[in-house]
Amino acid sequence: MNTGASVAVEGKLVESPAKGQRIEMQASEIEVFGSAAEDYPLQKKRHSFEFLRTIAHLRPRTNTLGAVMRVRNACAQAIHEFFREREFLWVHSPIITASDCEGAGEMFGVSTFDPTKIPTDKEGKPDYSQDFFGRPAYLTVSGQMEAEIMATAFSNVYTFGPTFRAENSNTSRHLAEFWMVEPEMSFCDLEGDMNLAEEFLKYIFSYVMKHCPEDMAFFNERIDKEAIARAENIINNEFERLTYTKAVELLEKCDRKFDYPVEWGIDLQSEHERYLAEEVFKKPVILTDYPTEIKAFYMRLSDDGKTVRAMDVLAPGIGEIIGGSQREERLDVLERRIVEAGLPKEDYWWYLDLRRYGTVPHAGFGLGFERLVQFMTGMGNIRDVIPFPRTPMNADF
RNA sequence: UCCUCAGUAGCUCAGUGGUAGAGCGGUCGACUGUUAAUCGAUUGGUCGCAGGUUCGAAUCCUGCCUGGGGAGCCA
């Protein structure tokens, strides 16, 4: 009988005289349901995560993936409990969207066309009027705009589901298919948004520490010796909050040499964000009030005209884990911002309707679920915190 | 997409121009209060792929493929 066999053992559970275990079973009967062939790839030793990714159908049996999947599950439970306690409505945003106005990244097309013979119009372009939806359709990159719709009816809502990015990103922090949590709150400003984000992360970390203590101890010992200290740091300390402008001043004054020079107006680089979260404050940092030019059109313009009410939560070791904002609720300002961004206003007719009919101050944020699990467990590669990772050139299993 | 490192046995790796190696695993046997057991034997390779240089290439050169790390984009 080899490692990997499936068995049922009947016997007597007794106190063990051996070291390192309290109990053992003295077997009286063993039934083998499935023996494992001698080429069973999982051995009783450490395997590299790269190798395990090539056998994604067997790796859930390993102790590390097992711990990851339990913690991932606990994170999902914590998210639902957090919002249920606060009476947020879980709304199901669509996976397929015909709206091409989300602008959050490259999208996967959804079509039933036979790729070898796509109908074309007079100009030789694909004639989508003959396609399944009668127009171009895509996999969603974000449920935010649908969440905004629902928030104008139910006040507090959240989405939690898969999202897709067709970007050719090959990093340990990106997936083509990943899950996102997006709360959206009416009658809420940026302060309320930040408060919720901070409470939210603290809640999830407390929940996992309470429900998965053995798995967290495992990660702390085998994967990342900071895992438990980091969780306690999150739970027990106030997040640092400062404006983008203050952060830039701080970066300009510090002794550290950066590959990319810092000046007001630039989008902060990974090295800048890491420096702030890992070296200056050594805890999560919330940056707010970013320059208008580097943020999305729907974020609420401040009175200074130069910044928007946006916020990013930067986590040590991970970087941006949450991105959010107060949304622009003023119809005239939003229309102007859409035009300034060079976007077709007619595509946003329903989004603008939300401002036309009973507009309301509102705010929300998005959290990358796999990044949260990475942050929680200390796992280095995002492909190892989702059972079946989808990345460029990889959709096996 | 860019930069960089790597690809040798099922796994983890050593081998820098001269007959392809180790540990683990597998198989067989022995032994055993074991814990990723121990002891003995044994099995196992188109050295990522294709070309080139050379008397001779795992080793040097070129191209490609795949993977890791970093960057960009972002969550």
Nucleotide nearest to A51 (CA to C1'): B11
Lowest mean pLDDT among A21-30, A143-152, A348-357: A21-30
In the numeric block, which tokens belong to residue A385? 């915190």
- Interatomic distance A2 CA / B45 C1' (Å): 25
- Interatomic distance A89 CA / B60 C1' (Å): 66
The mean pLDDT of chain A is 91
Nucleotide nearest to A324 (CA to C1'): B75
The larger pLDDT score, comparing residue A50 to residue A78, is at: A78
Of all residues in chain A, the percent with pLDDT exceeding 90 is 64
- Interatomic distance A393 CA / B1 C1' (Å): 14
Nucleotide nearest to A318 (CA to C1'): B75
- Interatomic distance A171 CA / B44 C1' (Å): 36
Confidence of residue A15 (pLDDT cuts 50, 70, 90): confident
- Interatomic distance A138 CA / B54 C1' (Å): 56
Query: Across residues A180-192, what is the average pLDDT?
Result: 97
- Interatomic distance A56 CA / B43 C1' (Å): 28
Spell out the SS3 assignment of A104-147.
CCCCCEECCCCCCCCCECCCCCECHHHCCCCCCEEECCCCHHHH
Nucleotide nearest to A371 (CA to C1'): B75
Nucleotide nearest to A271 (CA to C1'): B71
pLDDT at residue A91 tops 90: yes
- Rounded to two decimals, the pTM is 0.92
pLDDT at residue A103 tops 80: no
Nucleotide nearest to A164 (CA to C1'): B75
- Interatomic distance A108 CA / B71 C1' (Å): 24
Lowest mean pLDDT among A174-178, A198-202, A259-263: A259-263
> What pLDDT does A100 receive?
62
> What pLDDT does A19 receive?
65
**To 5 degrees, how large is the angle CA A41–CA A46–CA A51?**
50
pLDDT at residue A369 tops 90: yes
- Interatomic distance A225 CA / B38 C1' (Å): 33
Nucleotide nearest to A272 (CA to C1'): B71
* DSSP character at residue A387: S
The larger pLDDT score, comparing residue A9 to residue A372, is at: A372
Helix, strand or coil, per DSSP, at residue A3: coil
Instruction: Write out pLDDT tens, residues A371-387.
Output: 999 999 999 899 999 99
- Strand B, nucleotides < 7 Å from a protein CB: these are 1-2, 10-13, 24-27, 33-37, 66-75
Confidence of residue A9 (pLDDT cuts 50, 70, 90): confident
Nucleotide nearest to A270 (CA to C1'): B71
pLDDT at residue A102 tops 60: no
Of all residues in chain A, the percent with pLDDT exceeding 70 is 98
* HSE-up (13 A, CA, CB side) for residue A221: 9
Provide the H-helix boundaries in chain A.
49-54, 63-85, 144-154, 190-211, 213-222, 227-236, 244-253, 270-274, 331-340, 349-356, 369-377
Confidence of residue A199 (pLDDT cuts 50, 70, 90): very high
* DSSP character at residue A275: I
Distances (CA, A) of A279 to A202, A249, A261, A311, A316: 21, 16, 18, 20, 9
> What pLDDT does A154 receive?
97
pLDDT at residue A18 tops 80: no
pLDDT at residue A393 tops 70: yes
> What pLDDT does A104 receive?
62
- Interatomic distance A167 CA / B2 C1' (Å): 15
Lowest mean pLDDT among A28-42, A211-225, A358-372: A28-42
Lowest mean pLDDT among A14-18, A257-261, A312-316: A14-18
> What pLDDT does A101 receive?
59
ipTM over 0.95: no
Contact A243, A289 (CB under 8 A): yes
- Interatomic distance A395 CA / B7 C1' (Å): 22
Query: Across residues A85-114, what is the average pLDDT?
Result: 86
The larger pLDDT score, comparing residue A19 to residue A342, is at: A342
Instruction: Write out pLDDT tens, residues A118-154.
Output: 999 999 889 999 999 999 999 999 999 999 999 999 9
**Phi/psi zone of residue A87: left (φ > 0), alpha (ψ -120 to 50 degrees), beta?**
left
Confidence of residue A93 (pLDDT cuts 50, 70, 90): very high
